Structure 1
Amino acid sequence: MVAKIKMVLDRTIMAVTTVFTAVLVIGAIWQVVSRYFFNAPSTVTGELLRFLLVWTAILGATYAFGSNQHLAITFLKNKFKGKIRLGVRIVNDVFIFAFAILIMIKGGMEVVSITMTQTTPILNIPMGVVYSILPICGVLVVIYKLLLVKEYQEELSTGKEG
């Protein structure tokens, strides 16, 4: 069940980031064509690309956290074996969990609510919509870390590291 939920999350995030990346590439090409061939740069595309790049980067970081491929200082974790190593991993994940709740979800919701009345200059959408990626991805990171709890329970019961 845990593996299936994780697979659905992974595939959904990968699909969304793939679509965003494709739009980024097409938009950047259009930006170049409109600027150099038509001598009229597309202002809408420029703003859209900036926001999509932020969303893609944060979604990519969320996927990295979910698959434990994020940037980490591993020298401490690699010094230990067995249950001590698992303990170090759990402490690391507790910090990530706290960061996701306090900064991404709580802080993100505050930023979204503060900026909901401000609109973007070109697209005229609320900035809160742009910043909404923070709490969305914060919730996804929390879900990923909760799924890891089950994996840690299995590792503790079997004594094998995952």
Structure 2
Amino acid sequence: MSHSELHPPSEVHFDPASLESIEFPQLIGIDVDGTLVPGDGVIRDRVIRAIAACEAAGVTVVLATGRSLSTTTPIARAARMEGWMVCLNGSILATSAPETIVEALTFDPAPFLDRMIPLLPGAIFTVEDAWGVMNTNVAFHGGALGMAVREMPLEQIREIEAVRLVIRSEEHME
């Protein structure tokens, strides 16, 4: 007997009234990739309704992701979430409507860049700022990822407060 014969698919029906008797947590954190947004990239209506019902019950629903702010905000809007977002694995605390950075844990990339640039001639150095703009010495296409990319000299990149630093050296890839 096949799996589908043993476990026939069933449609899950969600009744918001069923939430009235449940004692809720005060906060629910939802990951984006593979959780809120499945592999096909479509957020399900029933998930959007469940989030809205939780919020209506007084629960704070937060997106918590490794994504940049610039690629998280459109997901929050698609899910009709207007609240909190924790982006870049905790580096950014923001709200989606209006898009506001509440706190950003940044670092000065200059000391690291000053050591790495001479060691990796020809490498691409990219510093991401708190808003999710990728500031790089060699432009690349980030549009498909929803990222803004700005090409500039390394001297200017050194001065940007970073939330992420990425180095790509073709010579050192295997």
TM range (shorter): under 0.3
Q: Normalized per residue, which structure has more helix? A: 1
| Greater relative contact order structure (CA < 8 Å, 6+ sep) | 1
TM-score (norm 1): 0.22
Q: Normalized per residue, which structure has more strand? A: 2
Larger Rg: 2
